[in-house]
Amino acid sequence: MTAATAAPPRDAINLKRLEAWLAARIDGFAGPIELTKFPGGQSNPTYRLDAASGAYVLRRKPFGPTLPSAHAVDREHRLIAALHPTGFPVAKPFALCGDDSVIGSIFYVMELVDGRSLADGALPDESPQARGAMYRALTIALADLHNVDPTAVGLGDYGRPGNYFERQVGRWTKQYRASQTDEIPEVEGLIEYLPRTVPEQTRTSIIHGDYRIDNALFEPAGTRIRAVLDWELSTLGDPLADFTYYAMQWAMPAEGGGAGLAGIDFTASGIPALDETVALYCERTGRDSVPAMDWYFAYNLFRLVGIVQGIKKRIIDGNASSDKAEATVARLVPLARAAWDFARRAGA
């Protein structure tokens, strides 16, 4: 995983209280412990715990006030606890704490997975063969997640019934309004357009909610996925929400070390083109095809606008978790404009 850094004073946690709680709940646990914070992750602060018995990862809710329904680390824990026994690549969960008095919020602890998080979608340090294998692994893992029977793993009630996109457009509109700081015309257009053009839902599955290359840990010197991370937005819903969010990599510019792949020479790079990725996903999930994606791209970018707007509000309130939060907020208006461009292509 990405190297952790010393926790700043505002993240101070009572280590003796935490150590006692861990010793009572994790077999073989032994202190003392040292706590360091992973960089990034504007949502739920994540820490590395080094103890005499080994290394662990702790995820907690952020400091200060948060939006309703956001930062539900207890849901993350429930999800990975259900998926881990199936063999799906997630970190092994150890314990969930619902008692705010231990470290100041609810949190959970899981194993530390040894792997590589790669933010640059072009994978510049990999061979063409490795790039192809890694992207196929990403696509197959997503398809395998969507093939898991939620009821069979105890997650039949993990999401509400009904049209997922209808619920989510409503949710992110409320989240945006709750943290709104500016008037952005493109967002107003999306708030009017998206709810009246919601596509029909034909399948329901477990969805990750933020499936992209840097939320997967690849083995240290190979192409297999060791763990899929950051399940905060997971729920039951339309699997096309996940797949089209992942597919946006192919529509976003390949620049600045981000996940975007538009403009890449797929033949030379070894990275599968989008039509190959769609075909593999459809083969693995038994679909005939994936519908035109402009509406889905508009929705996914609208959701990102809601997330970034929440980060902006937390900066104003003094509660943003990442040092990179301000750079993320600079993307707010460009994201809104890109979302509106896709909406117009879809017929807005």
Q: How far is CA 71 from CA 40, 51, 232, in A?
A: 15, 26, 6
**240 and 99 within one domain:** no
Rounded to 5°, the CA angle 263-217-45 comes to 105
Last residue of a domain, one of 74, 94, 111: 111
**129 and 91 within one domain:** no
**107 and 129 within one domain:** no
**137 and 281 within one domain:** yes
**Peptide bond before 220: cis, by omega within 30 degrees of 0?**
no
Per-residue pLDDT of the chain (348 residues; tens, 9 = 90+): 555 655 544 557 889 999 999 999 999 999 899 999 887 654 688 999 999 999 999 999 876 555 445 557 899 999 999 999 999 999 999 999 999 889 988 999 999 999 999 999 999 999 999 999 999 999 999 999 999 999 999 999 999 888 999 999 999 999 999 999 989 999 999 999 999 999 999 999 999 999 999 999 999 999 999 999 989 889 999 999 999 999 999 999 888 788 999 999 999 999 999 999 999 999 999 999 999 999 999 999 999 999 999 988 888 888 766 667 787 888 899 999 999 999 999 999
**219 and 310 within one domain:** yes
Whose tokens are 């990405």? That residue is 2
**132 and 274 within one domain:** yes
Residue 181: count other Cβ atoms within 10 Å of its Cβ: 12
SS3 assignment, position 202: coil
**317 and 179 within one domain:** yes
**245 and 129 within one domain:** yes
What CATH number is associated with residue 32? 3.30.200.20
As for how many domains the chain has, the answer is: 2
**pTM flag (> 0.75):** yes
Distance CA 106, CA 60 (A): 6
Distance CA 173, CA 306 (A): 7
Q: C-alpha 82: how far from its chain's center?
A: 17
**104 and 132 within one domain:** no
Distance CA 244, CA 35 (A): 37
What CATH number is associated with residue 275? 3.90.1200.10
- Let me know: does 241 contact 212? Beta carbons within 8 Å: no
What is the extent of the structural domain holding 60? 5-111
User: Which amino acid makes up residue 281?
Assistant: Y
**95 and 128 within one domain:** no
- Helix (H) or strand (E) holding 74, with range, is helix 73-83
305 contact partners, CB below 8 Å, separation of at least 6: 172, 176, 184, 187, 190, 332, 335, 336, 339
Last residue of a domain, one of 76, 111, 146: 111
**146 and 28 within one domain:** no
Structure tokens at 196: 């009246």
Q: C-alpha 285: how far from its chain's center?
A: 21
Last residue of a domain, one of 111, 143, 169: 111
**249 and 170 within one domain:** yes
